[in-house]
Amino acid sequence: MAEQLIELNVTGMHCNNCALSVHKLLEKRGLHNILVDFASEEVKFSNDNEADLPGIIKDIEGLGYKVVDDPALQITPFYEKVENKFLFCAILTAPLLLHMILPWHFLHLPLVQMLLCLPVFIVGCLHFGKSAINSIKGGVPNMDVLIFVGSSAAFIYSLIGTIENLGEQYQFYETCATIITLVLLGNVFEKRSVTQTTSAVKDLVKIQQVNANRVVNGGIEVISARDVRPGDTLLVNQGDKIPVDGEVLSGNASVDEAMLTGESIPVEKEKYDKVIGGTIVQNGNIRMIATKVGSNTVLAQIIELMKKAQAAKPPVQKLGDKVAAVFVPAVILISLITFIITFFAVHTSLQVALMNAIAVLVISCPCAMGLATPTAVMVGLGRAAKNGILIKGGDTIEAVSNTKFVVFDKTGTITTGKFRIYDIKTEGEASIEQIRGVIVAIEERSNHPIAKSLVNELLPFQQTKLILKSAKEEKGLGMRAEDVDGNHYFLGSGKAKDDSDFNLSLYKNQKLIAQIAIDDEIRPEAITLIKQLKKMNIVPVLLSGDKMNRCLKVARQIGIDDVHGEKLPDEKLQVIDIYKQKGKTIMIGDGINDAPALTKADVGVSMNDASQVAMQSARVILLNTDLQSVIKFLQISRHTLITIKQNLFWAFAYNIIAIPVAALGFLNPMVGAFTMAFSDVVVIGNSLRLKRKKID
């Protein structure tokens, strides 16, 4: 039976350890291609037996998480919302803390303190206890184990003191309640911040959720974009979003495609033009035929790419995962050792030994380590997407960090792919006007991009036109034609010996009558881009299948010193290989012939107007055809990696300092809980800074 890719929406995961316990459970069940992303609440895996699915869902829910159909439609009961749990606990914890300041005698009574603490402890047991026990069952103890053990120890110790009437030094109800309340506060911040970091994908999903006006028997019916089928005729009016990908049947419109390309100027659309779902009609209205719907639309593919990108872990994160997996058992061990040494070796009182042990449990925070990478990667990917740069994988960001070489294809990448005539040299009696007429007449019959460019350029100057009887294209050579008077023409490549700039020749009855110098236009931003790359100590390289002298001419104009011309696709691979041995190499290309080299490079970058094959081979797609996106991509990647390193430094440093301080008894468990909650907030806050940070 064929394997199916199953996608589940799982709510209730709030840190990396949660994701790890789900991952381990699915591994134990022998499933493949497992991806668990706690931030976007998605679990994916390949399953070859559909009958197993209810059992898998039951096991995931057995860990304390919930499998839902659509998180957007999921209504969380009032008492399950983490914000409401925090408010409830805060109201009861406040008087417990105030008894230290206020002179009200009744607040000091052990029974009153126990009655105030008990509801908070029950909420804590339900919130952290369930998750802690399930994570131990799953074989990956999570951070809730530490909170649960710490708060339970404080509560049970105080309860024994109250029952035995052992006096004030046994009252630690406020410690128990404060730990639970502060960690819940941390969870509230964390939930809000994670929602912000995953906003890029959610914004894109919202764009998909629109209605469409379907034309049926002359009338209009309003349906959801999800119900549009290929071949449907749709009416899109001014101000509407185009519901799916398609082609214009009639009408004219200015369409804002900034969402995809980052290009602020609206694009004019008329009959036969392609339109993309999610873009907005700013002016005019059109009738269109739906060609791609559902998961085949450009927008759906972008969303899929973004989700895959968030799930692909950079090597830096794998390190964080490994540490987080062994972290909780290690902390419990340190806590036990702290208790044993303080009580038996140093001979302090039971309460001091217990408080030190609890402080160790509460201060440690594997969550900050687990959040360090995914939050930064998500914000980085989101910022790149808003700039029209699609990155297929968080690991791509790391691969780009120390780039040494950027290798460019020439045609369609450094140049626009549109050709211009620079010079026409006549041979014999024919005038320039006659030559132009012959070129237009012949090239009008060709579909070649060069032919189209020449016709567009010469049509405005055309005064005479030749009437042809026949014309046919000879692959790789040019066009042969015959006019009504029986003259034979050939227009194609073939240089005159004396001047290499003339790269097209026109023959009439096998006699040379003109030479034409054509070349494709260099993108206006190419020179600036090359200068910026050199400033960043990155070596630009030109690699093309085009003639060497033309490659050198382009390279001279834009300032590239390393040039490789006349290379076939397999030779391009060899060149990329040589550069890869010297350092990290990015390849930027757009044609089918670039696909192998794009795959071979450390990171392949493809232009949006590239061939489908090139786009599939690349790990980065520039939706905006402006080459400046390359610099933006390098800058965003660099700053995302800086943010990850800052986050990991903070998370490790915090734990390295905090645990010994707590073990030595210099830290009260309440202060521990407070700083632990805020270590998460610092890490997430640092990641969110990337949204608006100057990255020039």
**For 229-268, how does the pLDDT look when each residue is reduced to its tens digit (9 = 90+)?**
999 999 999 889 999 999 999 998 888 876 665 455 678 8
Looking at the chain, the whole-number percentage of residues with pLDDT higher than 90 is 12
* Domains 210-294 and 416-522 alike in fold: no
**Average of pLDDT values for 219-226?**
89
Query: For residue 389, is pLDDT > 90?
Result: no
Q: Is 167's pLDDT higher than 90?
A: no
Q: Would you state the pLDDT for residue 190?
A: 65
Q: What is the pTM of this model?
A: 0.61
pLDDT single digits (tens) 28-87 = 887 877 878 776 677 888 877 666 788 888 888 877 778 877 665 566 677 777 788 889
What is the Cα Rg of the chain in Å? 33
* Averaged pLDDT for residues 121-137: 81
Q: Does domain 4-72 have CATH number 1.10.1370.30?
A: no
- 449 pLDDT above the threshold of 70: no
Which runs of consecutive H residues, i.e. helices, occur in 139-289?
143-163, 173-197, 199-208, 258-261
Cα–Cα distance between 245 and 691 in angstroms, integer?
A: 30
pLDDT at 530: 92
**Which CATH superfamily includes the segment(s) 416-522?**
Calcium-transporting ATPase, cytoplasmic domain N (3.40.1110.10)
Mean pLDDT for the stretch of residues 187-205: 64
Tens-place pLDDT, residues 516-575: 888 778 888 889 999 999 998 999 999 987 778 878 888 999 999 999 988 877 788 889
> How confident is the model at residue 178, as a pLDDT?
80
pLDDT value of residue 496: 47
- pLDDT (0 to 100) of residue 236: 94
* CATH number among 3.20.20.70, 2.70.150.10, 1.10.238.10, 2.40.30.30, domain 210-294: 2.70.150.10
pLDDT, residue 232, reads 92
- Rounded CA separation 142/366 (Å): 8
Highest averaged pLDDT of the listed ranges 1-15, 362-376, 498-512, 603-617: 498-512
- Three-class SS of residue 167? coil
Using CB atoms within 10 Å of the CB of residue 5, give its burial: 0 to 12 exposed, 13 to 18 middle, 19+ buried: exposed
Q: What is the mean pLDDT of residues 317-345?
A: 76
**Mean pLDDT across 326-345:** 83
Q: What is the mean pLDDT of residues 265-281?
A: 85
Q: What is the mean pLDDT of the chain?
A: 79
pLDDT of residue 287: 93
Residue type, 100: M
Residue 625 CA to residue 695 CA, distance in Å, equals 21
Q: What are phi and psi of 257, to 5 degrees?
A: -105, 20
- Dihedral class, residue 349 (left if φ above 0, else alpha if ψ from -120 to 50, else beta): beta
Give me the mean pLDDT over the 300-308 stretch: 68
Q: 266, 279 in Cβ contact below 8 A?
A: no
| DSSP line for 528-588 | HHHHHHHHTT-EEEEE-SS-HHHHHHHHHHHT--EEE-S--HHHHHHHHHHHHHHSEEEEE
Q: For residue 118, what are the CA distances in angstroms to 89, 106, 170, 180, 351?
A: 10, 17, 16, 12, 20
Give the amino acid at 389. Answer: I
User: Which amino acids are annotated catalytic?
Assistant: 409
Domain regions of the chain by residue span: 4-72, 76-208+312-402+583-696, 210-294, 416-522
Q: What is the mean pLDDT of residues 646-670?
A: 79
For the ranges 99-113, 449-463, 605-619, 626-640, the one whose mean pLDDT is highest: 626-640
Residue scoring higher pLDDT (637 or 465):
637
The count of C-alpha atoms lying within 13 angstroms of the C-alpha of 55, restricted to the half-sphere facing its C-beta, is 10
Q: What is the mean pLDDT of residues 454-468?
A: 78
- The residue behind tokens 């349906």 is 223
254 HSE (CA, 13 A, CB side): 5
Q: How confident is the model at residue 291 (pLDDT cuts 50, 70, 90)?
A: very high
Q: Scanning the structure block, which residue is given the tokens 């309640």?
A: 177
d(CA 5, CA 443): 49
pLDDT band at 405 (very low <50, low <70, confident <90, very high): very high
Sorting pLDDT into bands at 50, 70 and 90, what band is 621? confident
671 contact partners, CB below 8 Å, separation of at least 6: none
- Phi, psi for residue 336 in degrees, rounded to 5: -65, -45
Beta bridge partners of 425: 515
Q: Give percent of the chain with pLDDT exceeding 70.
A: 80
**In the predicted structure, residue 320 carries a pLDDT above the cut 70:** no
Cα–Cα distance measured from residue 664 to residue 345, given in angstroms and rounded to the nearest whole number: 13
Q: Is pLDDT of 407 > 90?
A: yes
Average pLDDT value for residue range 344-348 = 78
**pLDDT, position 2:** 57
Q: In 3-state terms, what secondary structure has residue 282?
A: strand
Write down the pLDDT at residue 539: 94
Asked if 356 and 662 count as a contact pair (C-beta separation under 8 A), the reply is yes
Lowest mean pLDDT among 101-105, 513-517, 519-523: 101-105
Q: What is the amino acid identity at position 628? A: Q
- pLDDT, mean of residues 430-440: 86
Report, as an integer, the average pLDDT of 145-156.
78
The answer to whether the beta carbons of residues 69 and 39 sit under 8 Å apart is no
| DSSP assignment string, 325-350 | HHHHHHHHHHHHHHHHIIIIIS---H
- With 80 as the cut, is the pLDDT of residue 201 above it? no
